[in-house]
Amino acid sequence: MKKLFFLPFLLFIVACSTTDEVANTPEALYKRAAELEKDERYEESLAKYEELRNRFPYSKLSIEAELNVAGIYYKREEFSLAASTYNNFRELHPTHLQIPFVTYQIGNSYFYNLPGTIDRDISDSKSAIKEFESLVRKYPTYENAKDAQEKTAKCYEMLAEKEVYIAHFYFTREKFQSSMRRFEHVLKIRSSDKLKRTAYYNAGVSALEIGERSKAKEYLQTLVQRFPTSEEADQARSVLSKNGLL
């Protein structure tokens, strides 16, 4: 009787031991982490991915876990953390096949971390531009290259809008030297025609206010030549005429 009782107990112990061993493999940990991520149980998923990375640092799945951790931060809209995690991944695995995707996601992380208004810090726009332009330059056939280009244009526009915002601040306070320099800077940024017209006109008026007549003439005449049918061009013609600059 004792032998009959002991045998199933022994089989139970062996089965449990085998199950534990399987559950503690990189594959099992990765599978469980992925399941938790799919169920949006992100904290638990992160813990499992970290466990996999700590216990099996040389496993290929550990590398995939790094990428998935960054992805979870991105899904949770923790964009600063996502950007830094993707950056770390790229530094550690520069030849990984997913580097185009990683670069794209770094750019997206900076892009979606931008504020909704230009009166706040928009420095992430420069970081987004750097990543998106690098992606398009290195991987022109990447599936999201067009989207990266469109977002790059939006970032440039935001930078130009910021400069116009600051330039107007100086202009309304009659600090025309500062406003002219700011409007001149707008002209160096890739932006919409609307912002270019604003910059040309106000750079010209600012220059006129500080006595730089030749520079004022240059900006106003360029405005008229480039955008002859615009409202700003009509205003520029009026200023040129009144000041004997035609």
- The DSSP code sequence of 20-47 is HHHHTSHHHHHHHHHHHHHTT-HHHHHH
Q: Does domain 174-246 have CATH number 1.25.40.10?
A: yes
Burial (CB count within 10 angstroms: exposed 0-12, middle 13-18, buried 19+), residue 191: buried
Residue for token pair 């638990």: 44
Cβ proximity of 165 and 118 under 8 Å: yes
Q: From 1.10.287.610, 1.10.1200.10, 1.10.760.10, 1.25.40.10, which CATH number describes the 77-158 domain?
A: 1.25.40.10
So what's the pLDDT on residue 246?
A: 82
* Beta-sheet strands, E only, within the chain: none
The pLDDT, as a whole number, for residue 84 is 97
Q: Where exactly are the structural domains of the chain?
A: 22-76, 77-158, 174-246
What's the confidence (pLDDT) of residue 24? 80
Q: How far apart are the first and last CA of the chain?
A: 116
Distance CA 11, CA 30 (A): 28
In a structure prediction context, what are the per-residue pLDDT tens digits for the chain, which is 246 residues long?
Answer: 545 445 454 444 444 444 444 568 999 999 999 999 999 999 999 999 999 999 999 999 999 999 999 999 999 999 999 999 999 999 999 999 999 999 999 999 999 999 999 999 999 999 999 999 999 999 999 999 999 999 999 999 999 999 999 999 999 999 999 999 999 999 999 999 999 999 999 999 999 999 999 999 999 999 999 999 999 999 999 999 999 998
